Amino acid sequence: MSAQPTDTQAELRDLRTNGDPRVGPEMRDAILELLANDQWGKWVDTLVEDDFADADTK
């Protein structure tokens, strides 16, 4: 019989499955929608043109 996960292993699994508990559902849903709609745009072009470009696409 395999060993039961420790609390630490359970916490790690929960973090990997659900993400950081500091993030609330509204922020999570907004970022997932942003990712789904791929709104950042011009990703590679921005990187190649500007090494210090951030992800805050207008």
Partner 1 sequence: MIICDDYLALRVIVAGRPASIPTNEHLAMTPSTWWRLLRPAHTILDTRSQGTAPGITGVFSRIFAASSNPQIEAIIDPNPQIIEILDSRPLLSLAASLGTNNTTPTRRSGSLNGLESLAAAVHHNGALWYGRERNVEPFIANRAPQLGIDINIIDPT
For the bound state, the minimum distance from the C-beta of residue 1 to partner 1, rounded and expressed in Å, comes to 21
> Residue 7, interface with partner 1 (CB under 8 A)?
no
DSSP letters for 1-28 = -PPPPPHHHHHHHHHHHH--TTS-HHHH
DSSP summary character for residue 49? H
> Residue 40, interface with partner 1 (CB under 8 A)?
yes
Applying CB under 8 A, the residues found at the interface with partner 1 are 11-13, 15-20, 22-24, 26-28, 30-32, 34-36, 38-40, 43-44, 47-48, 51-58
